[in-house]
Structure 1
């Protein structure tokens, strides 16, 4: 029986479509939903740019609060975007137990949160909104599906994007 669901969102174009599935599952099973969004850590390139072009004093200020304040601002924006997605699902807010914005590789964040929370199911889309490679599932969904210790519910986003199951554009 499903009591806890981890909904991994990229807050992309298909968020409301995925949320519809999550809310239906939560309603049917009276399950608590934990929402997670991963933000990538600062890339090596960005870090190298900071070290090269930012004065030492400014770097010190960034290291002692600036970067964390940027992360905090991102967390606020992510939570606000998720609240916007929830507008059409006001009656389902009761199922949302928590919304977390965590730093790290998306697949790793999802898998760690699933383990930490002892969830019964992970829900995510087959692709992020930026996939045009025509693959059956994206890299994050693929990794989560391969490494998860709990069932994974993949919501196909290709049908939302206007592609048939054969990858051709439908009119």
Structure 2
């Protein structure tokens, strides 16, 4: 029996390669009439970073700043996804509901991606493939490698061709 895709976990770092990767998630969602759960991970501050912040800000100030940053990232992600949906779907109504949920978490990305894929019972994970080295080589990123190793779901790793990066 052929697999059915109902839920797609789209993991994004919000960089210039995100639109290209999102198009692949959206294409799958349209073909399978699936929903997309978008996930953005904010790397937690190291112990050293936390102690530095603690020296200059009170706990209340730090929490308020943190909350404001999370709201800003959430709004930015919603705006970018809405823009991409509008651009790619040319006003088709099913596209506006393709992204059913946007999750922003402060966790190590690979761990969070696997955890959220399980939590949302994702049938597939869609994520970008690479990072660029100092000499311009393209390599498989460490987060992608960890997700490929740890996830029980299929992972669609999207390699973004050179020159396909874009700002939204």
Q: TM-score normalized by structure 1? A: 0.79
* Structure 2 residues without counterparts, runs of 5 or longer: none
Aligned twin of 2:87: 88
- Whole-Å separation in 1 of the counterparts to 2:59 and 2:11: 34
Q: Is the 8 A contact 1:78 1:101 kept in 2?
A: no
**Partner-residue secondary structure (3-state), 1:74:** helix
* Structure 1 residues without counterparts, runs of 5 or longer: 163-171
Aligned match for 2:112, one of 109, 113, 116: 109
Aligned twin of 2:14: 11
Deviations 1:82-138 (A, max 9, x none): 33333412432332211111111111111111010011000001025xx22635411
Q: 1:78 to 1:95 in 2, by over 3 A?
A: closer
- Whole-Å separation in 1 of the counterparts to 2:86 and 2:108: 28
Between structure 1 and structure 2, the one with the greater Rg is: 1
Aligned match for 1:160, one of 148, 162, 167: 162
**Partner-residue secondary structure (3-state), 1:37:** strand
The within-5 A match list for 1:120-135 is: 120-128=123-131, 131-132=132-133, 134=137
Is 1:67–2:66 an aligned residue pair?
A: yes
- Whole-Å separation in 2 of the counterparts to 1:64 and 1:8: 25
- Whole-Å separation in 2 of the counterparts to 1:20 and 1:104: 25
